[in-house]
Amino acid sequence: MPTGQVIKTYNGFYYVLEAGKELTVNAQLLSCRLRGRLKREKGAVVTGDMVEYELLGDGTGVIEKCLPRKSMLHRPPVANIDQVIITFAVKEPDINSLLLNRFLVLAEWSDIPEIIICLNKLDLQGDVDEAFMKPYVEAGYRVIFASAHDGQGIDTIREMLKGKVTVFAGPSGVGKSSLLNAIDENLGLTTGVISEKIKRGKHTTRVASFLPVSTGGIVVDTPGFSAAELEHLDKALLAEYFPEFRPLIEKCYYNTCTHSHEPDCGIKNALSEGLISQERYEAYLSILQTILDRKKAY
Ligand SMILES: Nc1nc2c(ncn2[C@@H]2O[C@H](COP(=O)(O)OP(=O)(O)OP(=O)(O)O)[C@@H](O)[C@H]2O)c(=O)[nH]1
Ligand SMILES: [Mg+2]
Ligand SMILES: [Zn+2]
């Protein structure tokens, strides 16, 4: 049976690039439907999946099987990627640390080899706010300051993309599609406007799609989203999603420690010694509360 990769999905169709063919801007894609049993299973096939399909007489196909995934980003759902660039804007829409932490936790939950933070629209702010980003740098994240409008940071991002599959994820309107157009003008992605009143994006990008970058690498532009679904996470694993908390967990007195009210907690001790940031710890508590509230609702 032929195999290929799902490059994007739209309206129940899965657009597949035949194995062995190169992804180019105008590559021929095969439109496929899912076999019934795959349809019934939510998330059985997502963008990026390697699949086996059957060719029908009319030039379309039917996906029969999803092959094992190398990696899986849960939000937005994209398979077989190497890194994710969590993209925010310094302004319009404004960044806040809780929202950034929520996106980071979602990415950590997915176990993606490399998570990078990109702060776009630096042209609106003037100078780089190193202090705001310090906790994230200390947690081990690479942070890139960029502007799709004046071009700063673009060369750095372009270098990072070579030889990899990179997802750009983040809220609507932060400039994910604009950054990609600045990286490679051949992409010609549609970009939106920011609503005057609420300074938010208008969900311009509608589907996640794999795109070839002419200077090397594959990028995945994705629709903006709000990172509202954290209540589904396992509270016992939450601290693991903060990389700088990981080595501290084993120092907790209770092995069921939630690092909130318990005495002799490795994370709270590190906090009082100034070894981890107050902001990150507060984000942890806030997300923990979201998970606990959800459990109570049942
Ligand atoms: N000042 C400034 N504006 C930018 C920059 N990058 C993007 N914008 C503007 O921000 C708006 C939204 O940009 P998009 O690229 O559509 O944002 P997006 O993240 O792809 O949004 P969704 O597709 O809705 O998720 C557009 O009006 C862009 O012109 C930047 O670096 N500086
Ligand atoms: Mg977009
Ligand atoms: Zn603890």
Provide the pLDDT for residue 277: 96
For residue 241, what are the contacts with CB-CB under 8 A and spacing of at least 6? Answer: 104, 105, 108, 109, 233
User: End-to-end alpha-carbon separation of the chain, Å?
Assistant: 45
Give the chain's mean pLDDT: 94
- Could you give the count of Cα atoms lying within 13 Å of 218 in the half-sphere of its Cβ? 18
Domain 73-221 in the same topology as domain 3-68? no
Centre of ligand 1 from the C-alpha of residue 222, in Å: 13
Residue type, 136: Y
User: pLDDT-derived band of residue 297, with 50, 70 and 90 as boundaries?
Assistant: low
- Rounded to two decimals, the pTM is 0.95
CA pair distance 112, 78, nearest whole angstrom? 11
Please tell me the predicted confidence (pLDDT) of residue 295.
Answer: 67
- Of 105, 75, 117, 136, whose CA–CA distance to 241 is shortest? 105
For 3-68, CATH number out of 3.40.50.150, 2.40.50.140, 3.40.50.720, 3.80.10.10 equals: 2.40.50.140
Domain boundaries, the chain: 3-68, 73-221, 231-296
Tell me, what DSSP letter sits at residue 263?
Answer: S
Residue 61 has pLDDT above 80, yes or no: yes
So what's the pLDDT on residue 126?
Answer: 73
Average pLDDT over residues 128-135: 88
Q: Rounded to an integer, what distance in angstroms lies between the CA atom of residue 240 and that of residue 146?
A: 29
- Smallest CA separation from ligand 1 atom 1, residue: 121
- pLDDT, residue 81, reads 98
Report DSSP state, residue 69: P
268: tokens are: 């709270």
Q: What is the mean pLDDT of residues 39-49?
A: 94
Q: How far is CA 69 from the centre of its chain?
A: 17
> What is the reported pLDDT for 197?
79
Q: How confident is the model at residue 108 (pLDDT cuts 50, 70, 90)?
A: very high
Pick the CATH number of 73-221 from 3.40.50.970, 3.40.50.620, 3.40.50.300, 3.30.420.40: 3.40.50.300
Distance 241 CA to ligand 3 centre (A): 14
* pLDDT value for 282: 97
Report the nearest-CA residue for atom 3 of ligand 1: 121
pLDDT tens digits for 240-256? Answer: 999 999 999 999 999 99
Tens digits of per-residue pLDDT, 190-230? 999 888 877 888 899 999 999 999 999 999 999 998 877 88
Residues with CB under 6 A from ligand 1: 120-121, 123-124, 147-149, 172-178, 191-194, 201, 203-205, 223-224
- The mean per-residue pLDDT over the stretch 270-277 comes to 97
Answer for the pair 182, 151: CB distance below 8 angstroms, yes or no. yes
Q: Give distance in angstroms: CA of 109 to centre of ligand 3.
A: 19
CATH class of 231-296: mainly alpha
Distance 88 CA to ligand 1 centre (A): 10
Cβ–Cβ < 8 Å for 26, 188: no
